[in-house]
Chain A
Amino acid sequence: MIQLFHVTKEYPGDGPALQDVTVSVEKGEFVFLTGASGAGKSTLLKLIFCDEPATSGQLLLFGRNVAKISPRSIPYLRRNIGVVFQDFKLLPRRTVAENVALPLEVQSMVPKDIRRRVKMLLRSVGLEHRADKFPPSLSGGEQQRVAVVRALAADPALLLADEPTGNLDPERTLEVIELLTAANARGTTVVVATHDRSLLERYKRRVVTLERGRLVSDGDSVRRAAGEAR
Chain B
Amino acid sequence: MSFRPVYFTRRALEGMARGPYVALVGIATIFVALFATGLLAGALGGAERLLAAWAGEVKISVYLDPGTDLAASRAAVTAAAPGREVRAVPAAAALRQLSQELGDQAHVLDGVGPGVLPDSVDVLAPGIGLEEARSLAARLRTLPGVADVDFGNAWLEKLELLVSRGRIASVALFAALALATAVLVGNTLRLAVFARREEIEILKLVGATDAFVSTPFLIEGVLQGVVGAALAVAALLGVHAGLVPRLQVAVPLASVLRLGDTLPSGLLLGLVLGGAAVGLLGSAMAVVRTLRRS
Contact = CB atoms under 8 A, between A and B. Distances in A.
Report if A and B associate in a common complex: yes
Interface of A: 49, 72, 75-79, 83, 89-91, 93, 102-103, 105-108, 150, 154
Contacts of B202: 89-91, 102
Contact of B7 (A75, A105, A107): A105
Interface of B: 1-2, 4, 7, 18, 198-199, 201-210, 212
B2 A108 contact: yes
A78 B205 contact: yes
Nearest to B1: A108
| Chain B contact surface mostly | helix
Contact of B207 (A76, A89, A91): A76
Given A75-B209, A78-B205, A79-B207, 19 more contacts: A75-B207, A75-B208, A76-B207, A77-B207, A78-B206, A78-B207, A79-B206, A89-B198, A89-B201, A89-B202, A90-B202, A91-B198, A91-B202, A93-B18, A102-B206, A103-B207, A105-B7, A106-B206, A106-B208
Contacts of A72: 209
A79 B210 CA distance: 14
A170 B260 CA distance: 75
Given A75-B208, A75-B209, A106 B18 contact: no
B199 A91 contact: yes
A78 to B, nearest CB: 4
A103 B198 contact: no
Nearest to B3: A108
A81 B192 CA distance: 29
A41 to B, nearest CB: 18
Contacts of A105: 7
B67 to A, nearest CB: 87
B8 to A, nearest CB: 10
Contact of A89 (B2, B4, B7, B205): B205
Contacts of A49: 205
Contacts of A106: 203, 206-208, 212
B100 to A, nearest CB: 83
A83 to B, nearest CB: 6
Contacts of A78: 204-207
Nearest to B11: A105
B201 to A, nearest CB: 8
B28 to A, nearest CB: 23
Nearest to A107: B207
Give the interface centre of B4, B199, B206, B207 by most chain A CB atoms within 10 Å.
Answer: B206
Contacts of B206: 78-79, 102-103, 106, 150, 154
Nearest to B2: A108
Top-9 shortest CB links A-B? A79-B207, A103-B206, A78-B207, A75-B209, A106-B208, A75-B207, A108-B2, A106-B207, A102-B206
18 contacts: A49-B205, A72-B209, A75-B204, A75-B208, A75-B212, A76-B209, A79-B206, A83-B205, A89-B201, A89-B202, A90-B202, A93-B18, A102-B206, A103-B206, A105-B7, A106-B203, A106-B206, A106-B208
A90 B198 CA distance: 9
Nearest to B204: A75
Contacts of B205: 49, 78, 83, 89
